[in-house]
Structure 1
């Protein structure tokens, strides 16, 4: 059985490496938007109230998926809604 000694310098080097790796993970940003958004994110994005969001769901203007008690919205559907009816007209 071999015995390996760990010195304070070894621990300090490990700490520095770990901190560097953690900072890299925390500062990494994704450029692509999330595919699905929650209600509060959609309200902030469209600058609408909860009641308005409910109306958009109820009249079928905005598609949604409910999983448990959480409602999710497809990002692409929201972008189409923001583009307005002019983009959806066929001539």
Structure 2
């Protein structure tokens, strides 16, 4: 799991996105992205609905970019079809 900050440039448009890879190893993985607003509570940020993308790159090993192809699942974004060539690193 990793937490990443975001700012969509509007009032109360900041927060973090929690990204979880399961099982986080080589092969097929599930990826979930959950948005937390500025109050640290789970948030549905309308501006992110159409723009949330997750792309993975490992430049040192010349891998990627890999598009996770996340789908809006009504409050969080997810896919169960991300094939990782390397295990997750924190």
- What's the TM-score bracket when you normalise by the shorter of the two chains? under 0.3
| Greater share of helix | 1
How high is the TM-score relative to the length of structure 2? 0.24
Q: With CA pairs under 8 Å and 6+ residues apart, which has the higher RCO, 1 or 2?
A: 2
For the pair shown, the structure with the greater C-alpha radius of gyration is: 1
| Greater share of strand | 2
